[in-house]
């Protein structure tokens, strides 16, 4: 409330002005007595005005002081009774004042004066003072903490205000827990394993499968719907899905106890659509994860995360598909794309082996029979199949093999690129060539990795196949060649060498279709003796291999060897030593660690009891269930061995079959 200057004070002022005018007139007319009387009156009025002004000023100051005191008392009382915790801290982060609610909810009744703020609130004060706000948990509640800093001369302090956000966070937590997710469960190779089963066996397997799925869903409040003979759609809330992830999808282990036709174990592939904002997006992610699980051989669950994918299971061998209908369809589609292209470039992975180069040579021979120009892109300085390259080049046209740089410089708009024995864009022979060519075809048998090529016009991926050479052999049988000429014998031998390499001479991952492919190549003129010579080593290489084997040590049925010497053929010797270690009894898997420059490499092999693919994925690598590898940048051999042992220990329980 403001105090105004009283109106009555203007009366003496008016009289004073009139008197001064009267005195001036009296002096002018030489009437001195009235003038003296007027001066006296004017002086008295001036004195009265001074006294009035002084009294008014003191009253105003007293009024303002009273108002300020009242305001300070009101502000302090307001902060003290504010329905939210408030505290003031000094530069030493000690509490110098707090209100009643702070004492009730933060300090819980204890005297907090002079105590450190960190004794009651676990919060990074530097970040709080910098950002202005932060969230913290105190005594079972969630608070949004806001800070405001005050500085005046030598005095500085910060006011900390707490806003209770517990209800919001509880609501958000409940929303997250009840958020629905789509989960797709698919029985692996259902048609293949059911085709020879009796009707009673099919019915029994169907009942056991549905009972297993009902048990899987019994601990949730979701629902599941069977949409086909081998596919189920489920909707599960986040909280229950997290339990399944924590338990590592035990349904995968339980499913293997169901034997179809008394001999085929039932396996599931599961795609989880977690983290989506809608059911439609969740279903899309679940399908993507299911494709990833199937591409890795099945018998596993895949969950997509912000950084990639998480894999669970994957300990069973893939079931071979007997039907070739898919192969025939892929072959016809490939032939159409090849015929509509100007030139065809074929390349495999870096440091190509007999399977990569052999599949390339066999496919190149078939494409030339179609009357198309074809080139194989290889880096001879980084290739493990130089003997095969020299042999094929000596019996074919000179421009069959080209360097990556030469291929890039000759690419045209309508050219085609075929990538064999890999589907990972980080492992291909020439990334620049891949970026230049718009149309790409993928032919690979390795289990699917995260960084796969996703823009291929044809993605022929069969993880159950023994090798890329086997897949190429099946494809070219359905090509419609313009002439009656057979596949050149050297190309048939190249394909056979690739099959023999990846099957360890028809021992590992060998199915009926593997022998059928080998029989076809034999008909095309492949000489097994010539192929065997491609695997021959020098005497010095054999000595180095035995040296690696002799240095091996056992760790939980895993043979680990370190090749601590330098050799030009170490990339050939190390995998051969890993294969040799598998011939030792009580060895389920073998690992050979060696270095090339600043990179430490690990070559892994298994007989199937241990999935070396998932072990290598722990170290950033990948491969197949029985053959995998990893590369570690700027890591010593000793550090690599420690990381390898940790990966074996962490994955062994999941990778061993039951």
Any idea what the CATH number is for the domain that residue 213 is in? 3.30.70.270
d(CA 341, CA 411): 12
Would you say residue 658 has pLDDT above 80?
Answer: no
Same domain, 11 and 91: no
Q: Which two tokens stand for residue 231?
A: 């596919």
Of the ranges 89-93, 154-158, 398-402, which is most confident? 398-402
Final residue in a domain of this structure, among 533, 553, 584:
533
Q: Which two tokens stand for residue 62?
A: 């007293």
Q: Note the pLDDT of residue 467.
A: 92
DSSP conformation class of 182: E
In a domain, 81, yes or no: no
| Contact between residue 24 and residue 12 where contact means Cβ atoms under 8 Å apart | no
Minimum mean pLDDT range among 172-181, 282-291, 344-353, 608-617: 608-617
* Distance (Å) of CA 269 to CA 452, 504, 623: 19, 28, 19
Q: Note the pLDDT of residue 440.
A: 95
Provide φ and ψ at 341, rounded to 5°: -110, 155
Same domain, 467 and 389: yes
Same domain, 397 and 477: yes
Reported as a single tens digit per residue, the pLDDT across 293-343 is: 887 778 888 888 776 778 887 665 555 555 677 788 889 989 999 999 999
In a domain, 79, yes or no: no
Residues of the domain holding 297: 180-313
In a domain, 325, yes or no: no
| Rounded (to 5) percent helix, strand, coil in the chain | 45, 20, 30
In a domain, 406, yes or no: yes
User: How many angstroms from the chain centroid is the CA of residue 392?
Assistant: 42
Average pLDDT for residues 203-213, to the nearest whole number?
87
225 three-class SS: strand
- List the 86-89 sheet strands across, edge first: 95-98, 86-89, 155-164, 141-152, 133-138
Final residue in a domain of this structure, among 478, 507, 533:
533
Q: Note the pLDDT of residue 42.
A: 59
Q: Note the pLDDT of residue 257.
A: 83
Reported as a single tens digit per residue, the pLDDT across 373-393 is: 999 999 988 888 888 998 998
* Distance (Å) of CA 130 to CA 143, 155, 160: 18, 19, 13
Minimum mean pLDDT range among 148-152, 167-171, 233-237, 246-250: 148-152
Same domain, 202 and 300: yes
d(CA 107, CA 101): 9
Q: Note the pLDDT of residue 23.
A: 56
pLDDT band at 32 (very low <50, low <70, confident <90, very high): low
Same domain, 193 and 207: yes
Percent of the chain exceeding pLDDT 90 equals 29
Sequence-distant (≥ 6) Cβ neighbours of residue 552 within 8 angstroms: 559, 560, 561, 581, 590
Same domain, 382 and 497: yes
Same domain, 270 and 337: no
In a domain, 37, yes or no: yes
Query: Where is 202: in which H helix or E strand?
Result: helix 199-218
Same domain, 188 and 302: yes
d(CA 138, CA 392): 74
Q: Note the pLDDT of residue 559.
A: 93
pLDDT band at 252 (very low <50, low <70, confident <90, very high): confident
Would you say residue 608 has pLDDT above 80?
Answer: no
Residue 594 or residue 7, greater confidence: 594
Same domain, 148 and 269: no
Please state at what angle helix 325-339 crosses helix 468-476, rounded to 10 degrees. 80
| Contact between residue 363 and residue 418 where contact means Cβ atoms under 8 Å apart | yes
In a domain, 511, yes or no: yes
Percent of the chain exceeding pLDDT 70 equals 84
Q: What would the 3-class secondary structure string for 316-362 be? A: CCCCCCCCCHHHHHHHHHHHHHHHCCCEEEEECECCECHHHHHHHHH
Would you say residue 9 has pLDDT above 70?
Answer: no
Would you say residue 17 has pLDDT above 90?
Answer: no
User: If we measure between CA atoms, which residue out of 501, 360, 374, 513 comes closest to residue 422?
Assistant: 360
Same domain, 578 and 645: yes
Same domain, 100 and 25: no
Provide φ and ψ at 610, rounded to 5°: -120, 130
In a domain, 323, yes or no: no
Would you say residue 529 has pLDDT above 80?
Answer: yes
Q: Which two tokens stand for residue 642?
A: 């420690």
* Distance (Å) of CA 32 to CA 22, 327, 373, 389: 11, 137, 135, 139
Minimum mean pLDDT range among 14-18, 155-159, 472-476, 638-642: 14-18
Would you say residue 139 has pLDDT above 60?
Answer: yes
Same domain, 193 and 274: yes
Q: Indicate the average pLDDT of the chain.
A: 83
384 three-class SS: coil
Reported as a single tens digit per residue, the pLDDT across 41-98 is: 656 666 776 676 666 555 555 544 444 454 455 555 656 667 888 888 887 888 888 8
In a domain, 299, yes or no: yes
In terms of C-beta density within 10 A (0-12 exposed, 13-18 middle, 19 or more buried), how is residue 612 classed? buried
| pTM for the full predicted model | 0.62
Would you say residue 113 has pLDDT above 90?
Answer: no
Average pLDDT for residues 533-560, to the nearest whole number?
88
Minimum mean pLDDT range among 15-29, 122-136, 310-324, 388-402: 15-29
Would you say residue 586 has pLDDT above 80?
Answer: yes
Q: How many domains in the chain?
A: 5
Average pLDDT for residues 1-23, to the nearest whole number?
54
Output the domain CATH number for residue 102: 3.30.450.20
Minimum mean pLDDT range among 7-16, 210-219, 272-281: 7-16
User: If we measure between CA atoms, which residue out of 184, 192, 185, 133 comes closest to residue 158?
Assistant: 133
């Amino acid at each position: 409330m403001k105090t105004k200057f009283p109106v009555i004070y203007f009366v003496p002022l008016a009289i004073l002005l009139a008197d001064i005018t009267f005195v001036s007139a009296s002096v002018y007319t030489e009437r001195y007595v009235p003038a003296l009387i007027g001066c006296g009156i004017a002086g008295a009025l001036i004195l009265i005005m001074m006294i009035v002004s002084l009294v008014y000023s003191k009253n105003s100051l007293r009024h303002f002081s009273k108002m300020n005191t009242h305001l300070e008392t009101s502000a302090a009382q307001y902060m003290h009774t504010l329905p939210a915790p408030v505290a003031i801290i000094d530069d030493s982060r000690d509490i110098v004042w707090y209100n009643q609610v702070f004492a009730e909810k933060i300090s819980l009744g204890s005297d907090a004066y002079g105590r450190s703020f960190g004794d009651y609130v676990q919060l990074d004060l530097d970040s709080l003072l910098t950002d202005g706000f932060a969230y913290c948990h105190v005594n079972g509640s969630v608070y949004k903490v806001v800070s405001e800093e005050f500085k005046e001369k030598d005095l500085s302090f910060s006011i900390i205000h707490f806003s209770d956000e517990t209800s919001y966070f509880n609501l958000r937590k409940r929303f997250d827990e009840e958020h629905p997710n789509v989960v797709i469960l698919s029985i692996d190779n259902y048609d293949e394993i059911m085709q020879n089963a009796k009707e009673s066996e099919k019915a029994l397997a169907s009942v056991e499968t549905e009972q297993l799925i009902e048990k899987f869903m019994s601990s949730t409040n979701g629902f599941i719907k069977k949409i086909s003979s081998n596919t189920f759609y489920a909707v599960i809330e986040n909280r229950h899905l997290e339990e399944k992830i924590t338990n590592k999808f035990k349904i995968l282990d339980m499913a293997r106890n169901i034997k179809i036709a008394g001999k085929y174990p039932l396996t599931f592939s599961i795609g989880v659509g977690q983290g989506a904002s809608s059911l439609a997006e969740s279903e899309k992610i679940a399908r993507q994860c299911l494709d990833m699980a199937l591409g890795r051989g099945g018998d596993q669950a895949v969950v997509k995360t912000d950084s990639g994918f998480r894999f669970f299971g994957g300990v069973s061998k893939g079931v071979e598909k007997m039907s070739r209908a898919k192969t025939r369809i892929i072959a016809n589609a490939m032939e159409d794309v090849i015929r509509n292209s100007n030139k065809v470039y074929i390349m495999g992975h870096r440091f190509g082996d007999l399977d990569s180069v052999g599949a390339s040579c066999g496919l190149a021979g078939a494409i030339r029979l179609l009357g198309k120009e074809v080139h194989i892109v290889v880096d001879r300085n980084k290739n493990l199949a130089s003997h095969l390259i020299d042999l094929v080049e000596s019996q074919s046209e000179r421009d069959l093999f080209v360097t990556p740089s030469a291929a890039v410089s000759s690419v045209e708009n309508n050219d085609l690129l075929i990538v064999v024995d890999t589907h990972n864009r980080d492992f291909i022979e020439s990334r620049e060539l891949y970026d230049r060519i718009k149309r790409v075809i993928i032919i690979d048998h390795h289990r699917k990795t995260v960084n796969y090529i996703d823009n291929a016009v044809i993605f022929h991926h069969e993880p159950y196949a023994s090798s890329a050479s086997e897949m190429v052999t099946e494809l070219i049988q359905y090509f419609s060649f313009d002439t009656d000429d057979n596949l050149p014998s050297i190309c048939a031998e190249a394909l056979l060498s690739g099959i023999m390499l990846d099957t360890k001479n028809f021992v590992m991952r060998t199915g009926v279709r593997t022998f059928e492919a080998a029989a076809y190549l034999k008909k095309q003129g492949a000489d097994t003796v010539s192929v065997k010579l491609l695997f021959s080593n020098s005497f010095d290489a054999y000595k180095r291999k035995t040296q690696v084997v002799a240095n091996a040590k056992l760790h939980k049925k895993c043979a680990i060897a370190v090749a601590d010497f330098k050799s030009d053929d170490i990339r050939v010797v190390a995998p051969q030593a890993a294969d040799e270690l598998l011939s030792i009894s009580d060895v389920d898997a073998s690992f050979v660690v060696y270095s090339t420059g600043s990179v430490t490499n690990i070559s892994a092999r298994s007989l199937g009891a241990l999935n070396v693919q998932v072990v290598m994925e722990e170290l950033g690598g990948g491969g197949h269930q029985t053959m995998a590898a990893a590369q570690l940048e700027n890591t010593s051999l000793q550090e690599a061995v420690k990381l390898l042992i940790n990966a074996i220990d962490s994955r062994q329980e999941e990778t061993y079959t039951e």
